[in-house]
Amino acid sequence: MATRARVGVLGASGYTGAELVRLLLRHPRAEIALLTADRRAGMEMRDVFPQFSPYALPKLVSIDSVDWVGANLDLIFCALPHATTQKVVSAIFGATPAARIVDLSADFRLADTASYAKWYGHEHHAPDLQKQAVYGLVEVYRREIKTAHLVANPGCYTTCAQLPLLPLIKAKAIDLDEIVVDAKSGMTGAGRSARESMIFSEVSEGFHAYGVGGHRHMAELDQEFSRAADREVVVSFTPHLVPMNRGILSTIYVRGKRGRSAQDLHAILLKSYVKEPFVHVLPFGETPQTRHVRGSNMTFIGVAKDRIEGRAIVVSALDNLVKGASGQAIQNMNLMLGYPETTGIEQVALFP
């Protein structure tokens, strides 16, 4: 049997942390060597996530108590809350400059630290590290990720919007000033924190938009869409909450440019992703459902003709905890450690 990389998960008591553990427990080339959870330090993983009761796992420790040199980790996943990661990552690199980190927070996603300060309301705590950070959308930055020491794993909403839109933007196939992204997410996207607005009876049997007009994910979209278009692109983006655990669906309204029909757009996407293991373009006219990617690292994309001449509707779906977070993070790890990209994240979707 091949050797296993020693892997740490910082923030193991949250949902993306637990999802990393779920996937890593069956990853043939990884060994879970460290689990941290500051508020639960000293507890067993089974105490915070009983589904792991049958498995042997390291006890939860606090981040401060970790000896980064002694831990001898080949790769570290940071699944910590936004705004706390910059300092942690600085500390790790301070102790072990050769460390390799995949960060699942938003802390290193914005290349422009001024933009970060504007959207997040405070100065960036590690501007030098930001320069080394590689944006971890594998399908776009595969080459850069392989040698990166710090990968900023993309957000769930933004992965779901970028995968269908980037090829169309790059191909100059759609009007850049009229893109509307209507996004719907399951509740795990909001994390595991106990807020009144998240309790079952506030969420079940209802539907609503939130952050209308100004959601933080927009900065990340602006950055990547503008890079791809080589001009400023600002899309209209509205997130909604669905009474379900997992899944994001984006309904994207676009207008073809220079005579591109909906079918032309479909052809562009089909060609872009024909070799990608985790992006699947459905036949023209079919659109995806979140349930059919649940638990898997797949993104499904569909394209249909709008009845308004010249317009098309593009729909994409992924599991926010897998391709939108922990699955993509392991995809990044596989690249960074030289493993086949699909190792350990080939689970078939769980439906029903």
Residue numbers annotated as active site: 156
Cα–Cα distance measured from residue 2 to residue 30, given in angstroms and rounded to the nearest whole number: 10
Footprint on residues 236-275 left by a copy of itself (CB under 8 A): 236, 238, 240, 242-247, 249, 251, 253
Residues 38-57 vs a copy of itself: string with x where CB under 8 A? -----------xxxxxxx--
Binding residue for a copy of itself (CB under 8 A) from 10, 315, 335, 336? 315
- C-alpha span between 225 and 172 (Å, rounded): 12
Taking CB under 8 A as the rule, does residue 338 contact a copy of itself?
no
Site string for a copy of itself, 162-201 (x = CB under 8 A): ----------------x-x-x-x-xxx---xxxxx-xxxx
Candidate residues 292, 337, 341, 343; the one interacting with a copy of itself per rule CB under 8 A: 292
Cα pseudo-dihedral 23, 28, 32, 37, rounded to 10: -10
Which H or E run contains 160? helix 156-170
72 binds a copy of itself (CB under 8 A): no
Please, are residues 94 and 70 in contact by the beta-carbon 8 Å criterion? no
Under the binding rule (CB under 8 A), the answer on residue 30 touching a copy of itself is: no
Residue 204 interacts with a copy of itself (CB under 8 A): yes or no? yes
d(CA 337, CA 352): 34
Neighbours of 50 (CB within 10 A): 9
- Considering only residues 215 through 234, tell me which ones interact with a copy of itself, judged by CB under 8 A: 218, 234
C-alpha 259/C-alpha 130 separation (Å) is 40
Is 139:158 a contact under the CB 8 Å cutoff?
no
Go through the chain and tell me how many residues it has: 352
**Residue 121 is a binding residue for a copy of itself (CB under 8 A):** no
Choose which of 31, 144, 202, 230 interacts with a copy of itself (CB under 8 A). 202
Give how far Cα 53 sits from Cα of 6, 50, 186, 347, Å: 21, 5, 26, 21
Name the residue with tokens 């079918």.
Answer: 263
Residues 290 and 248: their CA atoms lie apart, in Å, by: 6
Q: Is residue 304 near a copy of itself by the rule CB under 8 A?
A: yes
The DSSP output letter for 55 is S
Q: How many residues bind a copy of itself (CB under 8 A)?
A: 89
Kindly compute the dihedral angle of the four CA atoms of residues 22, 25, 27, 28, in this order, to the nearest 10 degrees: -170
State yes or no: residue 209 binds a copy of itself (CB under 8 A). Answer: yes
Q: Is 29 in the site for a copy of itself (CB under 8 A)?
A: no
Stretch near a copy of itself under the rule CB under 8 A, chosen from 1-9, 30-38, 60-68, 209-217: 209-217
Find all residues with CB under 8 Å of 108, minimum gap 6, and list them: 85, 86, 89, 126, 129, 130, 133, 150, 152
Tell me the closest approach of the beta carbon of residue 44 to a copy of itself, in angstroms: 11
> Of all helices (H) and strands (E), which one includes residue 36?
strand 30-36
Rule CB under 8 A: choose which of 70, 121, 205, 274 binds a copy of itself.
205
List the one residue from 92, 305, 323, 334 that touches a copy of itself (CB under 8 A): 305
Q: Select the span of 66-74, 138-146, 166-174, 313-321 touching a copy of itself (CB under 8 A).
A: 313-321
Least distance (Å) between residue 313 CB and a copy of itself: 5
Q: Exactly one of 282, 318, 325, 335 binds a copy of itself (CB under 8 A); which one?
A: 282
